[in-house]
Amino acid sequence: MKILVINAGSSSLKYQLIDITDESVKAKGLCERIGIDGSVLTHKVPGKEDYVCEAPMPTHKQAIEMVLEALVDKDHGVVTNVDEITAIGHRVLHGGIKFTESSLVDDKVKEVIKECFPLGPLHNPANLMGIEACQAAMPGKPNVAVFDTTFGMGMEPYAYMYGIDPKYYEKYSIRRYGFHGTSHMFVSAETIKYAKLPEGNQRVIVCHLGNGSSISASIGGKCVDTSMGLTPLEGLIMGTRSGDVDPAVVQTIANGEGLTVDEVLNILNKKSGVLAMSGVSSDFRDLGAAAAEGNERAKLALDAFKHRVVKYIGAYAAVMNGVDAISFTGGIGENDVTTRGDIINRLGYLGIIPDPEKANIRGKKAELTTPESKVRVFCLPTNEELAIARETVRVAGLA
């Protein structure tokens, strides 16, 4: 059974065709510059050369049509007929307060995705375009919306309500949602499975550290807390996002620089984080190299990043009254062994004993602590596409 996974952005569309029987990726690719001159599709099939096709893609509809043509192409394809695709799973950024679960798409679901445009103004309209393009190109096939916010919907009100008048929740759905939900859901479940954590002993912290970074606490796979909030801006210091700041920072910059609130928010989202702190790069490889050469700003950015991760781990261990396993995932969590090692080395108070032989493991599932360690620490690669494919099978009743 093959599931097509779609992640539609405003001018791009990523896809993977996954055979759910053995969870293998048959093909994957990317449409870029949708609606802009110079649209291009890059289609990758394991063991074959990449197929690059430049052709106009004025809308997501043409992009999906090109993806389907590539999938059935006699030289570059992996299926003989589009009918071999059983269902389509879509990454949708924001489900607002109405979606606590992934949902089979119908007109009502599309309406709610639309109602959430103000909460996800960049992503939700594109996600809906991706869904409608698939419905047009493959009529009758089940489409499933997998929301990035679903995992955070597991939080209790005391964790998701801000310390403000609840009328703003009633009026504007202002609450903490959390993002990277599909990744946190996948990695926390995989941690429980891989570590064979017994029932009642499944307090897991997932550190998703990448260009966007977030951290979650969950018990038995149910979210207790997660660091992103109403938008992905809250929480850890990220590549270009500031993470937590006192809201008075916005006021002070706006008044001082003669900027609007929207303009300051744009700075906090796109021109802050380790990029702005270091003045070097948002990429941790560049930061590590600059710090090693003695660049003080790069060193400070890395130290601030690690400090905040350590702080959140402590807070999450506290709210769960302990922690059984901590997993590192995302580009930095899986690969940046220096940053990850520095964080783990500061968790000795939890009884964590790092295994020096495992310290350099990159990009694969591994336990990083010794058998004596009171809390077990793992490197656990995330796989959001596979998580979406599994959800699609479950929600469409195909299992």
Tokens of 286: 């560049």
> Alpha helices of the chain — where are they, by DSSP H?
60-72, 107-115, 124-137, 157-160, 167-172, 181-194, 248-257, 261-270, 273-278, 284-292, 296-319, 330-335, 337-344, 384-395
Listed ranges 17-25, 134-142, 326-334, 388-396: which one lies at the site for ligand AMP (CB under 6 A): 326-334
Minimum CB–partner distance for residue 139 and ligand AMP (Å): 35
Does 7 bind ligand AMP (CB under 6 A)? Our answer is no
Tokens of 242: 């500031």
User: With contact defined as beta carbons under 8 Å apart, do 129 and 160 qualify?
Assistant: no
Q: Which of 148, 225, 324, 336 is catalytic?
A: 148
Tokens of 125: 């309209």
Torsion angle (degrees, nearest 10) of CA 330, 331, 337, 343: -50
Listed ranges 24-32, 96-104, 329-337, 372-380: which one lies at the site for ligand AMP (CB under 6 A): 329-337
Nearest CA among 215, 175, 209 for reference residue 311 = 215
User: With contact defined as beta carbons under 8 Å apart, do 185 and 150 qualify?
Assistant: yes
User: With contact defined as beta carbons under 8 Å apart, do 201 and 321 qualify?
Assistant: no
Minimum CB–partner distance for residue 37 and ligand AMP (Å): 28
Residue tagged 């049509």 (tokens): 65
Nearer to ligand AMP, 71 or 309 (CB): 309
Does 211 bind ligand AMP (CB under 6 A)? Our answer is yes
Does 210 bind ligand AMP (CB under 6 A)? Our answer is yes
Does 115 bind ligand AMP (CB under 6 A)? Our answer is no
d(CA 77, CA 274) in angstroms, rounded, equals 41
d(CA 344, CA 267) in angstroms, rounded, equals 31
286 is catalytic: no
Give me the 231-250 binding string for ligand AMP, x by CB under 6 A, dash otherwise.
Answer: --------x-----------
Give me the 282-311 binding string for ligand AMP, x by CB under 6 A, dash otherwise.
Answer: -xxx--------------------------
Give the one residue of 120, 152, 178, 330 binding ligand AMP; rule: CB under 6 A.
330
> Residues in contact with ligand AMP, total (CB under 6 A)?
11
Minimum CB–partner distance for residue 53 and ligand AMP (Å): 25
Does 68 bind ligand AMP (CB under 6 A)? Our answer is no
Does 151 bind ligand AMP (CB under 6 A)? Our answer is no
Listed ranges 24-32, 143-151, 198-206, 328-336: which one lies at the site for ligand AMP (CB under 6 A): 328-336
d(CA 38, CA 246) in angstroms, rounded, equals 42
Minimum CB–partner distance for residue 358 and ligand AMP (Å): 16
d(CA 340, CA 32) in angstroms, rounded, equals 33
Minimum CB–partner distance for residue 95 and ligand AMP (Å): 22
Minimum CB–partner distance for residue 332 and ligand AMP (Å): 4
Nearest CA among 385, 375, 320 for reference residue 346 = 375
User: With contact defined as beta carbons under 8 Å apart, do 14 and 30 qualify?
Assistant: yes
Chain residues that interact with ligand AMP, rule: CB under 6 A: 210-211, 239, 283-285, 330-332, 335-336
- Among all residues, which ones are annotated catalytic? 148
